[in-house]
């Protein structure tokens, strides 16, 4: 609870990580044993218990992927692989698809440039504080 209080006093805003962390932490705290917590969850929601427990972790992974730029890298790698494989399978030549590729890459370049130009760090975040202390 001290961590939650310090977080809200220092950062002051509500993020997805805290929305996931606070109820899960309170549930663990009130049940005192993970096995008792899981038994209560299984009794309450028999069909979706695994999804409910896994959701905060997957949401955190998605947050890390999108904030760090890994989502863009994975999408780029998948797009490069898929387009090369599909062109090979369908027998298309570069002349057949070049116009579409230029158009798609132009639009994606504009979207990417716009998303990169936006600030992603909160003024109170540790990364911004480290940069201001170093410089």
Task: Give residue 121's pLDDT.
Answer: 57
Give the Å distances, CA to CA, from 27 to 8, 35, 97: 19, 12, 55
List the domain boundaries for the chain.
78-118
Task: Give residue 62's pLDDT.
Answer: 85
Most confident of 5-9, 42-46, 79-83: 42-46
Task: Give residue 125's pLDDT.
Answer: 54
- pLDDT, one tens digit per residue, over 10-45 is 877 777 777 878 888 888 889 988 899 888 888 888
Q: Is the pLDDT of residue 130 over 70?
A: no
């Amino acid at each position: 609870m001290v961590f939650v209080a310090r977080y809200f006093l220092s950062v002051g805003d509500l993020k997805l990580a805290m929305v996931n962390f606070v109820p899960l932490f309170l549930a663990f705290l009130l049940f005192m044993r993970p096995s008792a917590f899981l038994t209560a969850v299984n009794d309450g929601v028999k069909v979706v218990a695994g999804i409910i427990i896994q959701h905060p972790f997957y949401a955190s992974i998605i947050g890390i992927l999108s904030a760090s730029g890994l989502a863009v890298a994975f999408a780029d790698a998948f797009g490069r692989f898929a387009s090369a494989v599909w062109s090979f399978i369908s027998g298309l030549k570069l002349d057949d698809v070049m116009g579409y590729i230029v158009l798609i890459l132009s639009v994606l370049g504009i979207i990417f440039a716009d998303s990169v130009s936006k600030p992603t760090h909160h003024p109170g975040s540790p990364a911004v504080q480290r940069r201001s202390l170093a410089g």
